[in-house]
Amino acid sequence: MKKIIAIIGAMKEEITPILEYFKKYETISLGENTYYKLEYQNSIIIIAYSKIGKIHSALTCSTMILHFNANYVIFSGVAGGLREDLKVGDIILATSLCQYDVDITAFGHKLGFIPESKIYINTNESLNCIAKKVAKKQNINLKYGIIASGDSFVFDNAKKQWIIDNFNASAVEMEGASIAVVSSLCDIPFCIIRSISDSADNNANISFDEFLLESASRSAKFVISMVDEIVKE
Ligand code: ADE
């Protein structure tokens, strides 16, 4: 059976380096979104950017799995770093994802918990091993940690600290957890790769604008190398 690998970004800038690398692809429009499909080494790759946020990325991820029959989901993009050792350009692999903006504590639930779901959803161990292999081969100091997602761009020191304190997160972004929810409910292996664009602090919006392209292309390059490993297996 042919492998079908979905690569998702949130913003156009996050997938452009991947489209430029593969050059030739078919374009498919669905749900006001564009999917780019190509054959690569006896596998199929489908690439799309979802638009920002958990709802858009949930739709794109669902489409990748339920319509295009993807059997691997890889997210590539940028994130705000929450740890001192996470610098702009560093690549972080999510060990698990959570939604820091889910709050039904009014009914006695823990912050981030939804009944019949989990606060933290783990990423796929085999895909994470491939990421580690790529990092080793390319001498990249790959970082790991919990990534927290929410529908806001975090550019506030107090909010940053709140996310660290409540979720022990290493990075923050706006799509990883929805990709995790959809993929895990559909039982499809997924992983989240992000390169740091800012530190989610009071200066984050300026840093994001400055480093989006550079960090997005670092993440994209890493994900392309992961695809090369997956198709070889
Ligand atoms: N993606 C990149 N930086 C981010 C931040 N500071 N907050 C949310 N998403 C981000």
Can you give the pTM of this predicted structure?
0.98
- Under CATH, which number does the domain 4-232 receive? 3.40.50.1580
Place of tokens 């972004």: 173
Residues with CB under 6 A from ligand 1: 78-80, 153-155, 172-174, 197-198, 200, 204, 208
Ligand 1, pocket-test mutation among 164, 170, 208, 213, most atoms within 8 A of CB = 208
| Mean pLDDT (the chain, rounded) | 98
Tell me: pLDDT of 233 over 90: no
| Cβ proximity of 117 and 169 under 8 Å | no
pLDDT band of residue 50 (cuts 50, 70, 90) is very high
* Ligand 1 atom 9 nearest Cα: 173
CA distance 98 to 181: 9
Percent of the chain with pLDDT strictly greater than 70: 100
* Ligand 1 atom 10 nearest Cα: 173
Q: Rounded to 10 degrees, what is the CA torsion of 218, 223, 224, 227?
A: 170
* Ligand 1 atom 2 nearest Cα: 79
| Cβ proximity of 214 and 98 under 8 Å | no
| Residues designated catalytic | 14, 198
Tell me: pLDDT of 31 over 90: no
CA distance 168 to 203: 22
**Res 1: pLDDT:** 86
